[in-house]
Structure 1
Amino acid sequence: VEVNAIKLSRDAELDIEEEVSGDLLVKIRSSLAKRATGYPARLLFDPTMPKEVLRAIKQKTGIEDEELVEGSRYHNFRDFFGFPSFGRTDLLNPAWPELPHPTLPRTGPLLPAVARRDHLLHPPYQSFDAVPRLLREAAADPQVSSIAITLYRVAPKSAVAKALLKAVKNGKQVTAVVELKARFDEESNMHWAEKLQRAGAHVIFTPAELKCHAKLLLITRREGDGAALHRYAYLSTGNFNEATAGLYADHALFTANAEIAAEVDQVFRYFQTGEEPAHLQHLLVAPFTLRKQLLKLIAAEAAQARKGKEAYIILKLNALEDLGMIAALYEASQAGVRIELLIRGIGSLVPGQPALSEHITQRGLLDRYLEHARIYVFANGGAEKVYLSSADWMSRNLDRRVEVAFPLLDESLRAEVRHLLDLERADNVKARDFDNHLLLSAEGEPLVRAQEAEYQYLKKLAGRRRAQK
């Protein structure tokens, strides 16, 4: 008896027209029902499979030769999440318990701490629980009048969504921009959207031609004798999702900066009224200003390089695919700008080519956690600018999604992110180059495994700042 594995992939694209008429929720639910029987698009097969069996499978599924992909003995790598240890603890990753946050209080209210200063959160090294904690606090606070949030991927047992339901019950005005088209999370998003709607929240669905990929939270609170309104914002590179927060490496900012919070409010107002964000001084928002402002920042570095001044760009992305952005980077490289790319996935720019991209290098990092954060760094004539973002440099992100890049204005927080980024730039254990070759340490060179070094850095940071209190 022979056993061979196959993996059949079906077309998972939802059947939604660009111009949706009728109920989007109903249309997506109908499309989801068809997903399990979608058109077969790829067959991954075991090369040891008898040819006559493969022919029979092709005939049964309708798979053509060009849709065949030769795999290995086992294909469903998702099962590795539950791979048994067989008692070999020496083969397992060492435990990295979630670290206490160095500046946010472990217990008690969070809003006063955010009012005093900005804070950065680095899940999964630090606990994502600070976010549902903040929402529960806002839900119970009689001075909080409203909460607005974007929900792209919602966990099936979402503490975030439950806190929002509590806020509605307590009389808060809750606005949730729910993305129904987040692939493979449509059902969970629909479930929570309907629960929020029934509870009385204002639930907004994006139109079919536009996705909301930005990760934003805005809390409005009455404060002081005159009951003036104060805003508290949370901007992140990662989702409001407790499950992925334990696997995806992200960065998030808690801030009460009035200017940034007002610009976050403009983004929410766009979803509510259709009024496009205007006069933005801090946030770069797609599909309105992100592409244009990034091109200006790249051009400014090129101008500095032509004057013989220091000019550099460091980009950490999941993907770099947009032809216009790639052309701008090539031009900057030709002007003498030093460009470092840290790209985990798709990279359509070819680095290191004479007279084209000789000043561009690329590396990627694959390790214990999924590198999910996007970071843009520009030399800016010595006054370095550091942005965190939800947006990759892909045409879809820049032109057909609502994305936000936000600056780190606090000098100590900029330094914190730069140190973490520098560790990733120095990795010689888990990093690979553009050609997928491991970037291993030279003989005698100390080993740098970035994620382990980041954990130890944040651990020391927490201990040092706690000791100062």
Structure 2
Amino acid sequence: MDGDAVKAKRYINRELSWIAFNQRVLSLALQSKSPLLEQAKFSAIFSNNLDEFFMVRVASLIAQLESNSSRLSIDGRSAAEQLQAIHQQLGPLLNQQHHHLQHRLLPQLEQRGIGILDYPQLSRRQKDWLTSYFQAQIQPVLTATRLNTPGKPFPFISSLSLNLAVEIQGSDLGGNELIRLKLPTKNIPRWITLPVALHGERAGALHLCVPLEQVIRHNLRALLPGRRISSISLFRVTRDADLALQEEEAEDLMEAMQSSLRRRKAGGDVVRLELSGDTPRRVQQQLIAGMGVDSNWVQRVDGFLGLEDLMALQGVHAPDLKDRPFHGSTPAPLRDCQSPEEGRHARESIFTAIRRGDVLLHHPFDRFTSTVEEFIHQAACDPDVQAIKITLYRVSKDSPIIASLIAAAERGKQVLALVELKARFDEDNNIRWARQLERSGVHVVYGVIGLKTHTKIALVIRREREKGALRTYSHVGTGNYNSKTAALYTDLGLLSADADLGQDLISLFNYLTGFSKQSAYRKLLVAPTTLRERMLELIEREIEHARAGRRCGIKAKMNALVDQRLIDKLYEASTAGVPVELIVRGACSCTSGVAGLSEQIRIRSVVGRFLEHSRVFWFENDNAPQVWLGSADWMPRNLDRRVEAVVPIEQPDLVERLRELLTLYIEDSSAGWLLQADGRYSPPGQEKPGSSAQEQLMQSKR
């Protein structure tokens, strides 16, 4: 067996494993037991995920192919082989998505009073109203651009924009004229809502709307009077969105990032072209030639393009068609220390509660607002707090944490915010926040050159009145300081007054601000300095326990597992007899149950209502377990090219809680997909029935 064949058996391709993950997301849209608007939501998430996959992963492979790179994937495939496999696997999934939407979801939604109507279905009154709407709201912002002017370059088409290609007969310049109209979806809703008074025979419907592209299409003669239109087609392009940032050569990182963002907006290469199914072949060929897109990445769709816009239906008030709302609860140790409301006063400060013992947080089951946000809010208001330091990676647009940091700075506290400008697709948002924080007196830094700061840490330094000494209060988490995602993602965090942990965070912030070259820490494991090697050592220790006949075992939960060195070490553990239980949400290059390689490894992917985002690493250690949580996945980028931190959980009751939590996910046969030895995942329900881990956690917090 040659080397490539060995690799193919030993590892699972990262890109194909990610597609399998997105297929699991799509399965939630296809489930008839899911509420209808939840089906629409997961279909939108599937499409949004796929957009990012093309902009980053497919674009990277195309770049490798065009540069004649000899680089092979972990399973020994060339870029061309991976692109071919991606193409083969995506086609059936897209067909499934569109068939479900057109033949099941939209008809069922219409039966329940929510209709996305085709223009020809409309009554005369409805069409007249839309014509008036077009003339008043849409036509003034539309601009027609010719795509095929002889002797001139093909105009730029922005990534992910929806466009109409309008073919007009008899151009003055000879031949047919091809006009492009960009749909103004940033200013006008994709789905234009009909007034209730115009529901007509559908009186009593909850929500009726018409696609923007159809409103424009059927009113084009007002925009192009006297022109003979021979065809109208909808199209959408996806461009390479990678940012090449030369930090070492940049005197001003923010200026360099803004320049890179301008280059992204100016457009990378087109990596995908989506067309409505009625697009004439001659128009398709003009678009392909004009944008230089590979014909393998042209997708003709009989249905809507840009299905991520289905997310807008979440704004329809239809509680019977959505999941029951869930708001979580405040964990018991913090219930008496909430900020005053309506004249009530907290019995104690959050710092008093944390001094009594570490507090383990599990969002969204534990409310983010009454835990992490409350921690930062009280730090901003407490006159004894001297300083607040925090890392910001992805921040919500209307952020209470940002407001608290600004309030703290205005009260004269020392506030440091490390804002990661290189957080992909959040760069613009982070630049705006960085400027606002700086204007408010917050000391803003941008991290270590050459590394992305992905760690989620916050530090509060407070002068204790009893002794007059300074004391540290720490938060280390797996998720962003983001109110919106905290309600949608599952994440873990630790609030602690442990002095050694506080000193570690002081040292780590000094490293991040460039004032130290710290490489050793008391408790934290930090990438890229100590995390990888310590994880390898911990796995090796379990191997030694197994060989000596002592109790051993590894349990880990993460978003992705694609690091070859760690996978090889897990294989070594498996062959030594160490039981390995992994919960890996997304891409996973590690095999499971392969004879002589991974027989002791079992891998489950849990996909449910909330996006699984927490990372936990458990080592049995001969009945003296060590467990860690933090921001890092087992990927080369996290271990080698990012600043990450994971924290040990040492308080016995919290260790036991994490044991129970990991067991809950490992045994989840309702939302957990089990990886088989052939590299495929068996869907939930193949084992004993039961409620999902997320459902049980919600039930415990209602």
Same fold by TM-score greater than 0.5: yes
Say which SS state the counterpart of residue 54 (structure 1) adopts: helix
Alignment correspondent of 2:284: 54
The alpha carbon displacement at 1:175 in A equals 1.0
Deviations 1:201-241 (A, max 9, x none): 22111245101100000000111454111000011100011
Quick one: which amino acid aligns to residue 595 of structure 2?
P
Alignment correspondent of 1:288: 529
Alignment correspondent of 1:405: 646
52-61 vs 420-429, which moves further: 52-61
For the 8 Å contact 2:668–2:693, the answer to whether it is kept is yes
Does 2:598 correspond to 1:321?
Answer: no
In our comparison, the structure showing a higher alpha carbon Rg is 2
Counterparts in 2 of 1:3 and 1:429: CA distance versus 1, 3 Å: farther
Alignment correspondent of 1:439: 684
Structure-2 separation of matches of 1:390 and 1:190: 22
User: Any residues of structure 2 matched to 1:353-368 within 5 Å, and which?
Assistant: 353-368=594-609
Counterparts in 2 of 1:73 and 1:37: CA distance versus 1, 3 Å: farther
333-342 vs 197-206, which moves further: 197-206
User: Any residues of structure 2 matched to 1:321-400 within 5 Å, and which?
Assistant: 321-400=562-641
83-92 vs 393-402, which moves further: 83-92
Does 2:552 correspond to 1:311?
Answer: yes
Does 2:424 correspond to 1:183?
Answer: yes
User: Any residues of structure 2 matched to 1:163-182 within 5 Å, and which?
Assistant: 163-182=404-423
Quick one: which amino acid aligns to residue 244 of structure 2?
D
Length-normalised TM-score, structure 2: 0.62
Quick one: which amino acid aligns to residue 246 of structure 2?
E
For the 8 Å contact 2:389–2:415, the answer to whether it is kept is yes
User: Any residues of structure 2 matched to 1:55-74 within 5 Å, and which?
Assistant: 55-68=285-298, 73-74=303-304
User: Any residues of structure 2 matched to 1:15-414 within 5 Å, and which?
Assistant: 15-43=244-272, 45=274, 48=277, 50=279, 52=281, 53-68=283-298, 73-83=303-313, 89-105=319-335, 107=338, 108=346, 109-129=349-369, 130-414=371-655
Does 2:697 correspond to 1:457?
Answer: no
Counterparts in 2 of 1:355 and 1:274: CA distance versus 1, 3 Å: farther
Alignment correspondent of 2:86: none
Richer in helix (by share): 2
For the 8 Å contact 1:180–1:190, the answer to whether it is kept is yes
Structure-2 separation of matches of 1:338 and 1:197: 50
The alpha carbon displacement at 1:77 in A equals 4.2
Counterparts in 2 of 1:451 and 1:170: CA distance versus 1, 3 Å: same
The alpha carbon displacement at 1:406 in A equals 0.8
For the 8 Å contact 1:46–1:73, the answer to whether it is kept is no
Length-normalised TM-score, structure 1: 0.91
For the 8 Å contact 1:197–1:203, the answer to whether it is kept is yes
Deviations 1:242-267 (A, max 9, x none): 11111111011111011111111111
Does 2:261 correspond to 1:12?
Answer: no
For the 8 Å contact 2:232–2:279, the answer to whether it is kept is no
Counterparts in 2 of 1:256 and 1:87: CA distance versus 1, 3 Å: closer
Structure-2 separation of matches of 1:346 and 1:87: 35
294-303 vs 405-414, which moves further: 405-414
Q: Say how many residue pairs are matched.
A: 457
Provide structure 2 residue ranges, at least 5 long, that are not aligned to the other structure.
Answer: 1-216, 218-230, 339-345
Structure-1 separation of matches of 2:550 and 2:304: 53
The alpha carbon displacement at 1:69 in A equals 5.5
The alpha carbon displacement at 1:433 in A equals 2.5
Structure-2 separation of matches of 1:352 and 1:271: 42
Counterparts in 2 of 1:349 and 1:48: CA distance versus 1, 3 Å: same
Counterparts in 2 of 1:84 and 1:457: CA distance versus 1, 3 Å: closer
Alignment correspondent of 2:179: none
Alignment correspondent of 1:467: none
For the 8 Å contact 2:270–2:292, the answer to whether it is kept is no
Q: Which structure has more RCO (C-alpha within 8 Å, separation ≥ 6)?
A: 1
The alpha carbon displacement at 1:126 in A equals 2.1
Say which SS state the counterpart of residue 45 (structure 1) adopts: strand
Quick one: which amino acid aligns to residue 696 of structure 2?
A
Structure-2 separation of matches of 1:6 and 1:432: 35
The alpha carbon displacement at 1:56 in A equals 3.1
The alpha carbon displacement at 1:376 in A equals 0.7
The alpha carbon displacement at 1:50 in A equals 4.7
Say which SS state the counterpart of residue 462 (structure 2) adopts: strand
Provide structure 1 residue ranges, at least 5 long, that are not aligned to the other structure.
Answer: 460-469
- Output the aligned Cα RMSD: 2.3
Counterparts in 2 of 1:429 and 1:103: CA distance versus 1, 3 Å: same
Counterparts in 2 of 1:218 and 1:89: CA distance versus 1, 3 Å: closer
Say which SS state the counterpart of residue 334 (structure 2) adopts: coil
Say which SS state the counterpart of residue 32 (structure 1) adopts: helix
Deviations 1:272-301 (A, max 9, x none): 344233542321110110001000000001
For the 8 Å contact 1:4–1:73, the answer to whether it is kept is no
